[in-house]
A and B are shown apart, each in its own frame.
Chain A
């Protein structure tokens, strides 16, 4: 099946710093990617829709200035958590939509802000 790769798998950062997470579709081009956040023992909550070549669309309640999304190419979307705080600690997961309109998920990135 199609492969979507996230990097890093886990990251620990100091409060106030910024962290960048990459999502790559390895064997197909994805004009649309999605970013989800998952807190422990909870479901995945959609944060934003990342569209190649245009601005991301954010879900209600998600701060666009805090969670910067860049979809600069058809195989790469990045999520930057700016000025991270402990409450931003979570599991961040991306999905990439294939030309056949199937969504394939990355393996997730566990962010811990200390």
Chain B
């Protein structure tokens, strides 16, 4: 099945640093979502974006829905150790009842 490309694949950062990751698709989506997955757990929704160009924040997280509807960005400010995990973007289209296409994932590790 189709997958969305995420970059970077992994990153090591120091506590307090800001983090940026992005997600690109060859096709258009009407909804972009960002999830975090801890080891051995299911994904947990962080931010949902429903409109092209939309910029949405959730605490230290900010995500943007690209104007072309083929990409999205996630920023984490002032990272803390509990930000460690795998971040997945996902795209969905209206009428597909949340049938999601997931990105390849970005593994984040935060050092003290």
State the A residues within 8 Å of B (CB). Answer: 4, 6, 32, 34, 36, 42-46, 49, 59-61, 91, 93, 95, 97, 101-108, 110
Contact = CB atoms under 8 A, between A and B. Distances in A.
Contacts of A95: 42, 98, 100
A108 B42 CA distance: 5
A101 B41 contact: no
Nearest to A1: B45
A95 B101 CA distance: 13
Give chain B's interface residue range (CB within 8 Å of chain A): 20 to 34
B25 interface: no
Contacts of B105: 42-43
A45 to B, nearest CB: 6
B41 A34 contact: no
B40 A108 contact: yes
B44 interface: yes
Contacts of A59: 1
B11 to A, nearest CB: 15
